[in-house]
A = this chain, B = another copy of it.
Amino acid sequence: MIKEIKIRDARFPLAKGAGSDAIHRDPVYSYAVTELQDDSGLTGTGLAFTLGEGNDLVCKAARFYAERLIKLDIEDLMFDFGRVFNELSNEQQFRWLGPHKGVVHLALASVTNACYDLWAKKRGVPLWKLLIDLSPEEIMSTLDFSYLEDELTKEQALQLMKDNSAGRTARESIINSGYPGYDTSIGWFNYSDEKVRENTKIAVANGFNAMKLKVGSEDAMRDIRRAHIVREAAGKDVKVMLDANQQWTLPQAIKICKQLQTMDPYWIEEPTHPDDILGHKTLADAIAPTKLALGEHVPNRIIFKNYLQTGCAGFMQVDAVRVGGVSEFITISLLCRKFGVPVVPHVGDMGQLHQHLVLFNHIALGHEALFLEHIPHLQQHFINPVKIENGVYVTPQEAGSSCDLKL
């Protein structure tokens, strides 16, 4: 039984230049942390990610949701968590503040993720293990398919999951080999050209064969120059992704993306405003076959549905600490599977939680095990920080979702 809740506002200033992009010059990586204390002595920890300012608002909203879980048993709660999620996210006054987006939905992520963490700890297994051992029917009971009925009903999702059980045993080998990572930290926006070149070489030496550069400079020539620096230092076989963090207008994006094609980017990420679904479709058509990656700022399954319906996204970067937590992440992963689009999460959690979720996506849903973003900046603050060896995530073995912070 959940007997007490604690909400913590945890903020971690970064080293100079780290985390910077075209829009966010000086982020303070922060978590709205929900802790659900069970009467058995266990604590479920859930995170939502922000860039500092306003993290307290998310904490306050998280308390609103978390207080509704007091005195509930975690197994009872998770038995039909899809209903719980639907009810929490549609609280009739609070939903006006979204619905299903912004501060309130970030807060729901924090609380939802704490539930999953406590559930896995209660069963004494890592979250990935809990999830892959649930039956398709049990998974469906944890999900809310409302407003997806035109594309994916619960019954269709169940069938999709059953259909993907073929080949599952072979896919489980990834537990031992580890899930591939990619390095996001070679080219933060404020880093000098020299530092970008040096970081690229270090990343390759560390075993990464995929990495990301921040673009979106006022002077497009700076972007082009730096992109070619990375390509040159990494070699032609490394996947290099470019991330504009919403900086471009649509006309700018069309022009600049075409110029950037000369360095063969694996994807171009968040080229323009995250709400501009039709703009992304226009852009995708204009720069094909170069693919777009997006979803870092997309708050819920309904907008992901629209993005998938347009066919504009080559990669979907749903983030379980942006959408309403693990439950909605899985729902969106099912949608993506239906549309044949790979899920490559943005890791506001620094990969701590997502290392579990991508294993589930690959093993249970049949998603391609492409690679998972790696951001090292908060390693010292986690009790069980992700382990990367030779560019590969080492599968976590501790019980829970690896989100406990040293606080």
* Interface residue? A256 (CB, 8 A): no
Which residues on the B side are within 8 Å of A249 (C-beta)?
A: 146-147, 149-150
* Interface residue? A297 (CB, 8 A): yes
With both beta carbons as reference points, the residue of chain B lying nearest to A106 in the complex is identified as B97
The segment from A173-181, A214-222, A303-311 that touches chain B is A303-311
The quantity of this chain's copies bound in the complex is 2
The segment from A36-44, A50-58, A71-79 that touches chain B is A50-58
The segment from A157-165, A277-285, A386-394 that touches chain B is A277-285
Cβ of A259 to closest chain B Cβ, rounded Å: 18
Q: Do residues A282 and B99 form an inter-chain contact, with CB atoms below 8 A? A: no
With both beta carbons as reference points, the residue of chain B lying nearest to A49 in the complex is identified as B96
Which residues on the B side are within 8 Å of A60 (C-beta)?
A: 56-57, 60
Cβ of A257 to closest chain B Cβ, rounded Å: 14
- Contact among B64, B93, B97, B310 for A278, CB-based, below 8 A: B310
Interface string of A66-109 (1 = CB under 8 A from B): 00000000000000000000000011111111111111111000
The segment from A22-30, A329-337, A354-362 that touches chain B is A22-30
Known: A93-B28, A97-B58. A300 touches B275 (CB 8 A): yes
- Contact among B53, B93, B278 for A54, CB-based, below 8 A: B93
* Subset of 11 A-B contacts with CB under 8 Å: A23-B95, A51-B92, A54-B96, A56-B60, A57-B60, A60-B60, A98-B102, A101-B275, A102-B102, A275-B300, A277-B277
